[in-house]
A and B are shown apart, each in its own frame.
Chain A
Amino acid sequence: MRTSVRTSLRYLLLAAIAVVVLFPIYITVVNALLPVQLIGHRPPVLFPSHPLWSDFSQAWSGGSLSQYLRTSAIVSISITVGSVATSVLAAYAFAFLEFPLKRVLFGLCLATLMVPAEVTIIPNYRTIQVFGWFDTYPALIVPFVASGLGIFLFRQSFRQLPRELRDAAVLDGYGHWRFLLRVVLPLNRPMLSAFAIFAWLGAWNQYLWPLLVTNTDARRTVQVGLRQLEGLSVSAPNVVFAGTILAALPIFAVLFLFQRQLVRGLTAGAVKG
């Protein structure tokens, strides 16, 4: 009897937390489904009795959201593929090859972890101008195609492969490339996918840099696009709500599909074990 009361109390607590956490998202969805005249209505409408889906199509086309999402997809996927590729190559060299200045170069990789992109925006902005990349895809992608964190994590992961595997591969006549593609990459899939999700999320959520180097809707990422959308909050609040939901949906989908990889990526280094 006492345990069942305690269990119910625990569920009550969990439910209360869930309501607080979800409420801002819930109310945004509700508002996105309301007709304009009911937004800001007193008393507030907390449930859409006649959901109106047209706001979404309006946000999709009218608010240039489809364009923003397309740019964000291209940019974030390019950054992910690029940074995984460059990190795999460099990590392989650091893990399996001997060469002069190896330690110095690896030290420099780690040093990049201490330089957040925010503190170098001023010269980088000028570099983009000099390259003629302002308001182009390269401006959004190229500065982020290398990752010190990726190199570090992959090197750690690669070095845990048993030496015998390398010896056996050499005996089988595998060169470095074949060893990398056939042995190293398949065996390190968990680390590769964890980093890839992490890199994708970071790229998708970037705000300051895309704001600096773009000035047309064709090249604005969805995060910066939200800033444009926010400007409609008086004239077309329903479009703002619908747009916000549409902007968040891709991450919800990806995170739901890759929960495990994400948790591993986020907690790497934070919790031992």
Chain B
Amino acid sequence: MRSRRTRDVLLAYLMTVPAFAAFVIFVFYPLVKTVYLGFYRVAPFPGLPSHYVGFSQYSTVLSHSQFLAPLFNSTLFVLFTVPTGIAIGLGMAVAAHRQLRGIRLFRIVFSSTIATSVAVASVIFFTLLDPTTGLFAYWIGQRGGTGLLGNPTFALPAVAVVSVWQNLGFSFILMSAALASVPEDLLEAAAIDGASGGRRFFRVTMPLISPTLFFAAIVGVIAGFQTFGQIDLLTQGGPNGHTNVLLYQIYTTFYINADTGTASVMAVALFLILVLLTLVQFSIIQRKVFYADER
């Protein structure tokens, strides 16, 4: 009997080892190492050793515009993309919610952008927004010049439009699932009580799907702070740093400028932001499970 229990324990460790080996090497170790690298300032010339500076690098980098400006851009980007993405996705879901002939086809079309990756969407819009050959330039009656992506005011909103479009499919699927979970009888009861369509939507549907809206918002904000591909393919952070978001700044600092110390400090900051958001997300999911159990 006892040997069987020992065998079970051995088996359990055997089964968890593959996953944990990967976690230790590629998640936990590098996480600690990133914090550690933030304590070392890289010498200005390659070949010289980096030296320990403790927390001073954290305080200088995190209060410097090289971090604050990208943080501001990322925040702005999230504000541009998240509310619009949810609102449009919800609008599409409401439009496709009614049972109509051929509605399945519309649903497939509405979710279709999920099949485009960030890179595919970016290249598509890169060609659309091309100042000389792109359709957009033709529509607004301009040819040549810098185009939207080269314009300090419009570059970030333009990138945001690309992201919103690319995420429409996901947003639509999520919102459709939420609408489908609203019990029909509640809406009918409200209709019998004389509530108009708009009132039913805002007083019955919205509260019931609010957990999904929160979920979509948090997932959107987390994804927004990890934005990279769009920037790399559309603007490379330009013009003049106006689309230089946090992850793109980390990438250039590390990969192009080889300033590992500064990049690590910013990576730690990004990690803390994301942890905070993830914790909020977990607490929302937990509360939802609790509600579900209660009913």
Residues of chain B with a CB closer than 8 A to A173's CB: none
A7-42 interface with B by 8 A CB criterion: 7, 10-11, 13-14, 17-18, 21-22, 24-25, 27-28, 31, 39-40, 42
Distance between Cα atoms of A126 and B221 in the complex (Å) = 29
Report whether A40 and B133 are in contact in the complex, using a CB–CB cutoff of 8 Å.
yes
Give a binary string over B229-242; 1 marks a CB under 8 Å from any A CB, 0 the rest: 10011000000000
The reply on B90 being an interface residue by CB < 8 A is no
Report whether A112 and B123 are in contact in the complex, using a CB–CB cutoff of 8 Å.
no
The reply on B86 being an interface residue by CB < 8 A is no
Partner-A contacts on B (CB < 8 A): 5, 8-9, 11-13, 15-16, 18-23, 25-31, 33-34, 37, 92, 95-96, 98, 100, 103, 106, 108-110, 112-128, 130, 132-135, 138, 165, 168, 170, 173-174, 177-178, 181, 211-212, 215-216, 219, 222, 226, 228-229, 232-233, 247, 250-251, 254-255, 260, 263-264, 267-268, 270-271, 274-275, 278-279, 285, 288-289, 291-292
Report whether B138 and A244 are in contact in the complex, using a CB–CB cutoff of 8 Å.
no
Residues of chain B with a CB closer than 8 A to A100's CB: 9
Distance between Cα atoms of A204 and B228 in the complex (Å) = 16
The reply on A240 being an interface residue by CB < 8 A is yes
Residues of chain B with a CB closer than 8 A to A193's CB: none
Residues of chain A with a CB closer than 8 A to B8's CB: 97-99, 176
The reply on A127 being an interface residue by CB < 8 A is yes
Report whether B174 and A255 are in contact in the complex, using a CB–CB cutoff of 8 Å.
no
Report whether B19 and A90 are in contact in the complex, using a CB–CB cutoff of 8 Å.
yes
- What is the size category of the interface that chain A forms with chain B? 35 or more
Distance between Cα atoms of A142 and B23 in the complex (Å) = 11
Q: Supply 12 further A-B pairs (C-beta < 8 A) apart from A119-B268, A151-B19.
A: A21-B92, A24-B128, A98-B8, A119-B34, A122-B34, A146-B23, A207-B118, A227-B232, A229-B123, A237-B133, A248-B115, A255-B114
Among B19, B31, B116, contact of A115 (Cβ-Cβ < 8 Å): B31
Distance between Cα atoms of A229 and B119 in the complex (Å) = 11
Please give me the residue from chain A that is nearest to B215 by CB atom: A270
Among B22, B103, B134, contact of A146 (Cβ-Cβ < 8 Å): B22
Residues of chain A with a CB closer than 8 A to B5's CB: 98
Give the distance to chain B from A48, nearest Cβ to Cβ, in Å.
15
Give a binary string over A193-230; 1 marks a CB under 8 Å from any B CB, 0 the rest: 00000000000110110011000000000111011011
Of A49-57, A158-166, A181-189, A261-269, the one touching chain B: A261-269
Among B126, B174, B254, contact of A270 (Cβ-Cβ < 8 Å): B174
A245-265 interface with B by 8 A CB criterion: 247-248, 251-252, 255, 259, 262-263
Among A123, A124, A226, contact of B123 (Cβ-Cβ < 8 Å): A226
Residues of chain B with a CB closer than 8 A to A22's CB: 109, 112
Residues of chain A with a CB closer than 8 A to B117's CB: 204-205, 207, 223, 247-248, 251
